Amino acid sequence: MDSGTERAIAYVDIDNFKPLNDKYGFSRGDEVIRMVARILVNVVSEEARSEGFVGHVGGDDFVFSVPIDKAEVVCQRIISSFDSLIVLFLDEDDLKRGYFESMDRLGRPQRFPLTSLSIAVVLCRRGRYSHYGQVSMTAAQLKKKVKSIEGSAYLIDRREE
């Protein structure tokens, strides 16, 4: 932010990861996290070269940063790759049904949509944000909105101030 370089900052979350972990086990959950990390690193590296950055926040949460003009294509490629590979980690019966059954946070059986990916993208244009906390707050708002969309999706904040 101090450099004044305009960037797209993206927050990536694996939807329904906890139920996936609970149903299929931590080993498969770890494989899904590694798969997402590889997708992010490969796509960001290919599209943004040395101008890209990928970070692992922890658990099933990631961030990446690319030049603003690369944000759309990076999100599209990440989601396309994720959606084509996640099916390799899910049982055939769950894929046919379109959901899987696992326990909710209170220990009750529940149906969960298949695992997907949500990407919230904040465009950091010159003068728009003065503190990284503002970027984080905007990303949290976008994340809530994009997670309400069924399946893998991305949302780029195009609001002007």
Domain ranges of the chain: 7-157
Residue 37 CA to residue 138 CA, distance in Å, equals 23
For the segment 8-54, what is each residue's pLDDT rounded down to a tens digit? 999 999 999 999 998 999 999 999 999 999 999 999 999 999 999 99
In this structure, whether the domain defined by 7-157 belongs to CATH 3.60.10.10 is answered with no
Q: What is the pTM of this model?
A: 0.93
